[in-house]
Amino acid sequence: IMTTTLYTAKPDDFAFQAIRTMGDKQVRRVPIVNEEGVLQGIVSMADVALEMEDEREIAETLEEISSGAGFWKKN
């Protein structure tokens, strides 16, 4: 199901900013757009998972992002 609001990131944003947007807004993909609003790419939860080495950490992270269960409040 698509959302009506489009949440985006900029090419020079840090990866954690796009990841935070996915968690906060409960979306699975974030389009990357330049200053003119032209699509440069898309970051997905799968992209995040592929960058993580530990399979357990991947599963936990994806579950927390999907559920929004205090993902950003961990220490």
49 vs 57: CA distance, rounded Å: 9
For position 70, what pLDDT does the model report? 57
In this prediction the pTM is 0.62
Residue of higher predicted confidence among 37 and 64: 37
Residue 40, H or E segment: strand 39-44
pLDDT in tens, 20-53: 889 899 899 999 999 999 999 999 988 877 776 5
Task: Tell me the CA distances in angstroms from 50 to 6, 9, 35, 64, one per residue in order.
Answer: 24, 19, 28, 16
64 vs 33: CA distance, rounded Å: 26
Of 63, 56, 51, whose CA–CA distance to 16 is shortest? Answer: 51
